[in-house]
Amino acid sequence: MSAGPSYAYFEGKIVPIEEAKVSVMTHTLHYGTGAFGGIRAYWNDQAEELYIFRPLDHFKRVLNSAKLLLMDLPYTPESMLDILLELLRKENYREDTYIRPLVYKSTTQIGVRLHDLDDALTMFALPFGSYIPNEEGAKVTFSSWRRIDDNAIPARGKITGAYANSALIKTDAALSGYDEALVLNQDGHISEGSAENFFMVRDGVAITSPITANILEGITRRTIIQLLTEKLGIDVEVRPIDRTEVFVADEAFFCGTGVQVVAITEIDHRLVGSGTMGPVVGQLRDLYFNIVRGNIDHYRSWNVPVYGPQV
Ligand code: PMP
């Protein structure tokens, strides 16, 4: 793997990464008033092509988050994709890559607010492997932290300040020896993981929390719902999930751009199903990795090629 990144989009142009620097007085650095995205691009050796997975959906979500933060940015999802393509071609990556767009309040001023501040976009991309080590058998705990509520910091925005909540959750889980944590809402129902959405399978039906459960509206979650119904013929129920339902589920898994599809095989010392990766998660993982790498024609519209012709 090459080190990367060598470049960043910063202050309206692509510059060497060393030049992409902000002041210690930058508003977002103090008050968490930024928003970000996380996108993956997959290298396909046979096609000699780097495919970005659903970038327009990701950029649309970044701009929705910007809207929540009262930002005024001169970008569209399409113009952000143009920047990304230029950036990746300059990096010339021939390996799996993670892309981080970040919109932030660039004014160097003290004062908590959203209005009367300048807004900016930066973006960079780096080589990236897996995010959770035990992808086929993650050990998970219920966090003692609660998920931030829509009326406190909206979880549907990928708001930088909200990730203090995710960091508290992740670190407690990791330092206690777990791979990840599941997080409950104030009402005690399951929201999601620290940085991934949650599904479980009970009696042949897949179940996931609704977008009103303080979850990030995940693009992988949407992809998985479509694949479950369209490809695996499995019904998906979107409804509140009780904590103890997971203990009696047949299968459970996390999904997200970073984690991809990760089987949860143990939760708070109880085995999920038989304690090994189940058939639904197994099939989904195969399908997902084939799709993101650009190997399945039917879903090719989700893969944006970096080097070859744009369709
Ligand atoms: N929930 C949270 C809190 C996240 O940070 C992420 C990662 N972006 C996800 C869910 C998964 O979202 P996506 O599938 O769009 O990457």
The domain segmentation of the chain, as residue ranges, is: 7-127, 138-292
Q: Which of the four pLDDT bands, split at 50, 70 and 90, describes residue 2?
A: low
Q: pLDDT for 175-221, tens place per residue?
A: 999 999 999 999 999 999 999 999 999 999 999 999 999 999 999 99
Q: Average pLDDT over the chain, rounded to whole?
A: 96
> CB–CB of 51/305 below 8 Å?
yes
**Closest Cα to atom 11 of ligand 1:** 256
Superfamily, domain 138-292: D-amino Acid Aminotransferase, subunit A, domain 2 (3.20.10.10)
Distance 132 CA to ligand 1 centre (A): 14
Residue 195: closest CA among 206, 210, 180, 209: 180
Minimum-distance ligand 1 atom for the alpha carbon of 57: 15
Q: Does residue 230 carry a pLDDT above 60?
A: yes
> What does the pLDDT read at residue 32?
98
DSSP state of 149: P
Please give the CATH number for the structural domain made up of 7-127.
Answer: 3.30.470.10
Instruction: Work out the pLDDT band at 13, boundaries 50, 70, 90.
Output: very high
Q: What is the pLDDT confidence band of residue 310, given thresholds at 50, 70 and 90?
A: low
**31 token code pair:** 């008050």
Mean pLDDT value across residues 75-104: 98
Residue in this structure with the two tokens 């970008």, named with its chain if needed:
75
The closest residue, in CA terms, to atom 10 on ligand 1 is 196
Catalytic hit among 13, 67, 158, 231? 158
Q: Is the dihedral of CA 276, 282, 284, 288 positive or negative?
A: positive
Residues having CB closer than 6 A to ligand 1 are 38, 166, 192, 195-197, 216, 218-221, 256-258
**Residue 265 and residue 252: Cα distance in Å, rounded?**
7
Q: Any idea what the Cα angle at residue 165 is, between residues 164 and 170, rounded to 5°?
A: 95
DSSP, collapsed to helix, strand or coil, labels residue 205 as: strand
Q: Among 53, 165, 197, which residue has the most ligand 1 atoms within 8 Å of its CB, making it the best to mutate?
A: 197
CA 286 – ligand 1 centroid, Å: 20
- The residue nearest atom 5 of ligand 1, judged by CA position, is 195
Query: For residue 109, how far is its CA from the centre of ligand 1 (angstroms)?
Result: 30
Residue 176's pLDDT is: 98
Asked whether residue 118 carries a pLDDT value surpassing 80, the answer given is yes
Q: What does the pLDDT read at residue 133? A: 76
Which of 128, 113, 136, 149 has the alpha carbon at shortest distance from 5?
128
| Cα 256 to ligand 1 centroid, rounded to whole Å | 5
CA-to-CA distance for 157 and 215, rounded, in angstroms? 9
Q: Is residue 90 annotated as a catalytic residue, yes or no?
A: no
Q: What's the whole-number mean pLDDT along residues 143-170?
A: 98
